[in-house]
């Protein structure tokens, strides 16, 4: 990554349009975010863009996502059908980088097979076109073992136990940390190893400026229209 400070639209632009919706992704694309972050869950050998394990908060259905017969039959609370990852890739491929956060997946090869259907975008400076991340570091290891050509990024809500081992195992393109538990010494340690830190979820301009000043490479935000104005 370059030295610029990145603004990543969290779940599209979750504070401006419904999270993980095509409307929100289109908005994030229109305002020129540096990267769009989204969440995926596997169901029936299809990859769906959805964050929660439960349906109630942002759909017209109730119960659990895993118990659905057909995710394509339900709608988000803005009236859109539940989007597939393919639909988002079709819209955004080569136009804006995507951070695909893996929530649940039984067959990681499905993700690599889907991405392989698209032409490889031209190399670019800064953020990679596709960044695969997860709190489940084991799935990242599996992706690495499957020969993923796409960069990987572990996510942590706290302080990782063995940073050196994970760097050796994953060769991470970046490391993603919870704003509440951020350790600036670790940010500096990773920076020295060539691994930039990205922080979630930051909606305050002054906090974003502080993070920028202290060596963080960028932030995930629900309010990209607001944070894109920071200097």
Residue 230 pLDDT grade (very low, low, confident, very high; cuts 50, 70, 90): confident
- Those residues whose C-beta lies under 8 Å from the C-beta of residue 174, and which sit 6 or more positions away, are 1, 131, 151, 153, 195, 196, 197, 198, 217
Name which residue leads in pLDDT, 3 or 126.
126
pLDDT for position 110 = 98
pLDDT for position 212 = 97
Q: End-to-end CA distance of the chain, in Å?
A: 19
Task: Assess whether pLDDT exceeds 70 at residue 200.
Answer: yes
Mean pLDDT of the chain: 96
Q: What is the token pair recorded at 39?
A: 């969440």
In the chain, % of residues over pLDDT 90 = 93
- Those residues whose C-beta lies under 8 Å from the C-beta of residue 219, and which sit 6 or more positions away, are 6, 7, 8, 179, 198, 199, 200, 201, 202, 208, 211, 227
Q: Which of 124, 138, 140 is nearest to 174 (CA)?
A: 140
pLDDT for position 183 = 96
Q: What is the token pair recorded at 118?
A: 């698209």
Task: Assess whether pLDDT exceeds 60 at residue 41.
Answer: yes
Task: Assess whether pLDDT exceeds 60 at residue 169.
Answer: yes
43-76, pLDDT tens digit by residue? 999 999 999 999 999 999 999 999 999 999 999 9
Task: Assess whether pLDDT exceeds 80 at residue 2.
Answer: no
pLDDT for position 231 = 74
Task: Assess whether pLDDT exceeds 90 at residue 95.
Answer: yes
What's the gap between Cα 67 and its chain centre? 24
The residue assigned the tokens 């259905």 is: 61
pTM: 0.97
Fold of 6-39+98-227: TIM Barrel (3.20.20)
Task: Assess whether pLDDT exceeds 70 at residue 1.
Answer: no
In the chain, % of residues over pLDDT 70 = 99
Contact (CB, 8 A) for 29 and 95: yes
Q: What is the token pair recorded at 36?
A: 């769009």
């Amino acid at each position: 990554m370059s030295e610029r400070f990145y603004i990543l639209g969290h779940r599209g632009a979750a504070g401006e349009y419904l999270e993980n919706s095509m409307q929100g992704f289109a908005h994030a694309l229109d305002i020129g975010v540096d990267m769009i972050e989204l969440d995926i869950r596997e169901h029936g050998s299809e990859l769906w863009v959805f964050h929660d394990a439960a349906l109630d908060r942002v759909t017209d259905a109730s119960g659990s996502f895993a118990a659905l017969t057909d995710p394509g039959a339900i709608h988000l609370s803005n009236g859109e059908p539940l989007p597939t990852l393919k639909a988002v890739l079709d819209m955004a491929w080569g136009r804006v980088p995507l951070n695909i956060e893996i929530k649940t997946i039984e067959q990681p090869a499905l993700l690599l097979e889907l991405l392989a259907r698209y032409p490889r975008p031209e190399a670019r400076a800064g953020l990679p076109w596709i960044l695969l991340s997860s709190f489940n570091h084991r799935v990242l290891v599996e992706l690495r073992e499957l020969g993923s050509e796409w960069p990987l990024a572990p996510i942590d809500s706290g302080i990782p136990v063995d940073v050196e081992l994970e760097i050796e195992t994953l060769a991470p393109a970046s490391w993603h940390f919870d704003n509440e538990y951020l350790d600036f010494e670790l940010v500096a340690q990773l920076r020295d190893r060539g691994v930039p830190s990205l922080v979630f979820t930051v909606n305050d301009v002054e906090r974003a400026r502080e993070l920028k000043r202290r060596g963080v490479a960028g932030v995930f935000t629900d309010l990209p229209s607001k944070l894109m104005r920071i200097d």
